[in-house]
Structure 1
Amino acid sequence: MAKKKNKKDADPKVHEDLKGFKMDINSFGEINSSFSIDKINEFLNKNVEDKKLKDRDDLDSEGSDKE
């Protein structure tokens, strides 16, 4: 019978901007991260579209020329 490969040892595939990102939860339930929350938020703002704000008319989206 073959042994199963331990998936925890392998590093996950991540975006190039997030190389070295590690996140752990300690015994008190606190989240520890290798990146600051500001750097994570900056990445998310740049790469993820906010579904709640997608259809709003009062916000100018990047690249649109409304007059």
Structure 2
Amino acid sequence: MRLGLGLFQAPKLRYAEDIEAGRLVEVLPDFPPTPTPISVLYPRSRQLSPRVRVFVDWLVEILGPKLEA
């Protein structure tokens, strides 16, 4: 148990390391919550800046494989 939180629901990706290390225990693994979508929003009326494009590509590269698992 971490900090005495008891039971709570949170993104598994955020606590995967704690679960693997045995600091947290997953309860009801056969009944996961529905996935929460992640969206990137930007003004449609403007052209996407190179900085934003690089950031979006980075998010897809980093988070994509973890979210698919």
The reply to whether TM is greater than 0.5 is no
Please state which structure has a larger fraction of its residues in strand: 1
Q: Normalised by the size of structure 2, how large is the TM-score?
A: 0.24
TM-score for the superposition, normalised by structure 1: 0.24
Q: Which has the higher contact order (CA 8 A, sep 6+)?
A: 2
- Higher Cα radius of gyration: 1
Higher helix share: 2
